[in-house]
Amino acid sequence: MRWRRALVALVLVTLAASAGAALARSAGDPGRQDPVRAVSAGLRCPACQGESVADSRSPIAAAMRQVVADQLAQGRDRAEIRRWFVQRYGADVLTDPPARGVRLLLWVVPVLALLAGGYAALRTLRPVVARTGSARTGSARTGSARTGSARTGVAAPGAPDARGARRAWRAASVGVVALVASVAIVADRLDPAARPAPADPVAVALQLAHDLETQDRYDAAAQMYQEALRDRPDDGVRLRLAFALLRSGDGAAAQRTARDVLAREPDSPDGLLVLGLAQRNSRSVEADDTLRRFLAVAPAHPAAAEVRRLLATRPEPGRR
């Protein structure tokens, strides 16, 4: 019985120490003083390996922290912000995505094992305790009979073997531990798709840029497009960058980006459109010619009507 009492005491001490450590971490957690960091610590940086948004120094992480700050200022709580990111980038953007697949066994098996172990302990050890108590409080005649049986080495009729029960209980405990360990070892091999993978940094950067544009924050949006271009040199992304640069007031950079696209695709409607608008903002004499070329290439473009209006309000070069 001593080893059981020692085991129970050890478990209680361990639980108390864990609770104390958790309270100490909570009291000293800087996230409680910095709500932006508290929320960002639960988000995975798409551009980094194993870093949270709170710890990463990448521009994408900085933009995500700004989104968190904006949403906190709007009155959203931590759960709402996490759902917002999951809806756009998937559950893998979280540092602690929900368990799924075979990994779910890592949570289910220990619970079932504890329940089964507790039930087996009650069924196995209670008869032993009951027999011990009855032996101590029994009548003198029954005590004499048990003493005689003990001296002769013969067990009482119909009484289970206490030592055999203990051995069975210990063997079952070892089996449960082995089962849990086996599940933990093979979980990754059986369900590789369940491993949390970082979200696509390009997709995250493009979505962030779009969200920033809806807030008229074109400088920050342009930075996100530039981040996306580093990993995906795509003309579609360049054109979106050119429009963001144009709206942010950086017409020279918008012209360079548009010319880069037109060098590979001379009849790109969006390339001609952003170049012509940038030239018009800088009062270049080439602006009208570029916009007319845009109308010739894409007369049904959604922006064609507005371009025609612009050309009609400005006299052609040489006319008064």
In a domain, 3, yes or no: no
pLDDT number for residue 171: 61
In a domain, 302, yes or no: yes
> What residues make up the domain containing 245?
234-312
Q: How many domains does the structure of the chain reveal? A: 2
- 158, pLDDT greater than 60: no
**Reported pTM:** 0.58
The answer to whether residues 109 and 190 belong to one domain is: yes
Please write the tens of the pLDDT for every residue from 38-67: 999 988 888 777 788 899 888 888 888 989
The answer to whether residues 188 and 131 belong to one domain is: yes
Task: Give the domain CATH number at 241.
Answer: 1.25.40.10
Please write the tens of the pLDDT for every residue from 255-308: 999 999 999 999 999 999 999 999 999 999 999 999 999 999 999 999 999 999
The answer to whether residues 242 and 303 belong to one domain is: yes
The answer to whether residues 175 and 243 belong to one domain is: no
In a domain, 32, yes or no: no
The answer to whether residues 106 and 176 belong to one domain is: yes
Return the closest-CA partner of residue 269 out of 245, 306, 312, 239. Answer: 239
Q: Say which residue, 182 or 44, is predicted with more confidence.
A: 44
C-beta separation of 263 from 275 below 8 A: no
The answer to whether residues 249 and 167 belong to one domain is: no
